[in-house]
Amino acid sequence: MDTTPPAGRHACPLIHGGIDRPYLLRVPAAAGTAGGRLPLVLELHGRGISAETFDRMTGFGALAGEAGFALALPSAVGEIWNDGRDAAPEGRRPDDFGYLAAVIDDAAARLPIDPRRIYVVGMSNGATMAGRLACELAERVAAVAQVAGTAAVGLAATCRPAGPVPILSIHGSADDVAPYAGGVRRGLRSRVMIRRAAGPSVGVDDWARFWIAANGAADGPTLATLSPDTTIRTWHGPTPSSEVAFYRIEGGGHTWPGSRFALPAMLFGRTSRTFDATQLIWEFLAGHAR
């Protein structure tokens, strides 16, 4: 008897570390195809935004149905991921690493997930959490995409991935929330935020250099441009998993390029319309398997 859930969105109960931490799972129609295995994308929301609101901003939910991949929407405790930037002792922070690994396992128990095609995408705090997973879950993650985020400075200093992880980064040069050069957030939004502050992140170029070395991506960079504001640098290495691709949006803010639901420019800066980040990210992810 086929127990695969029907196409659509499902609320999935999950208890991790003694905490009730359900997540949403979007199931494509392709899940009913006999013998077919599905890619799984974990979509990690940013700080202070719910998983559902973030999904409406990116449009990944709609794309999942069209492209035929499963989409997991986990939720951080208090809408803040434990990405390594919190100065509190680890024992006082949520075990988000373990939780997200449990989400993968739970989704695989419900759906015929292809273990070679598990992907992580995130923005802002969700992007830095995705960076943590790239470092600490490289044996399970086939590729990672980050928008407006890199990794905690301390995490980047100790990151020793178990193998190469294809990385796609999209970052605005005028991002005040996750500064391109690294450090802590600044600008108007940092003054109006009432939630606890996050520690420093590594700069985008330093993060690129880390993954070039970790992935053995010595071939590059290949340079390309998308008019009028985007520069693309890509590096390659001995295997397809060596790929490193960094998109710099000149004058871009802390935003999701191409989103129909643009964040307020006064707080977050300019949203680029040069490309659709959601489609671009899926094309990158889909090109990689473990």
Q: How far apart are CA 168 and CA 126, in angstroms?
A: 14
pLDDT score for 199: 82
In the structure encoding, which two tokens stand for residue 4, read together?
């695969």
Q: What is the pLDDT of residue 88?
A: 63
Provide the residue count of the chain. 290
Quick one: 8-286 is in which CATH superfamily?
Alpha/Beta hydrolase fold, catalytic domain (3.40.50.1820)
Q: What are 224's strand-pairing partners?
A: 232
Q: 23-55, pLDDT tens digit by residue?
A: 999 999 877 555 579 999 999 999 999 999 999
Torsion of CA 70, 136, 124, 82, to 10 degrees: 100
**What percentage of the chain exceeds 70 in pLDDT?**
92
Q: What is the mean pLDDT of the chain?
A: 91
How far from the centroid of its chain's Cα atoms is residue 141's Cα?
Answer: 11
How confident is the model at residue 189, as a pLDDT? 52
pTM exceeds 0.85, yes or no: yes
d(CA 253, CA 9): 31
Per-domain residue ranges for the chain? 8-286
Q: Is the pLDDT of residue 122 over 80?
A: yes
pLDDT confidence band for 1 (50 / 70 / 90): very low
